[in-house]
Amino acid sequence: MTTFDDFLKLDIRVGTIIEAKVFDKAKKPAYQLKVDLGEEIGIKKSSAQITDIYNLDELIGKQVLAVINFPPRQIADFMSEILVLGTYSKDGVVLITPDRKVSNGDKLG
C-alpha cells in the first residue's frame, strides 16, 4: 500500500506534444516525443512505447499528462526527461489526456 502523501510527491502536469519521431535505437518499438509543458517548465523529451495505437501524425497537438519530477533516464542515445502517462489496454498503451483543452503546465490536482 502507498499513502496519499506519496501520491502528492508526484508532479503530474499537462503538456502538448509538439514533435514525434520513430525511436529506431529503442529495444522495444517507441517514439521520441517533445512535449511543451508551458512557460515555467519548458519543452521536455520523452521516450514512449505507444506505437501500437498511435501514428506520428495524430500525436502532434495532443495534450497528455506526464510525471515531470522523476530523474531523467537514458534510453539508448536519448535522455528521457519526463514520463508520459498511459494505460495498458489489450491493443496497446492508451495515453491519458484531459477531456478538455487546458493550459500547458497545469498540474494534476
Q: Which of 33, 83, 75 is nearest to 54 (CA)?
A: 33
Instruction: Report the topology of domain 13-95.
Output: OB fold (Dihydrolipoamide Acetyltransferase, E2P) (2.40.50)
pLDDT tens digits for range 56-81: 999 999 999 999 999 999 999 999 99
Residues of the chain with pLDDT under 70: none
pTM over 0.85: yes
Cβ-proximal residues to 99 (8 Å cutoff; 6+ apart), any chain: none
**What is the reported pLDDT for 4?**
92
3 state SS of 56 = helix
**What is the reported pLDDT for 109?**
79
| All three cell numbers of 64 | 497528455
**What is the reported pLDDT for 20?**
98
3 state SS of 5 = helix
Contact 44, 35 (CB under 8 A): yes
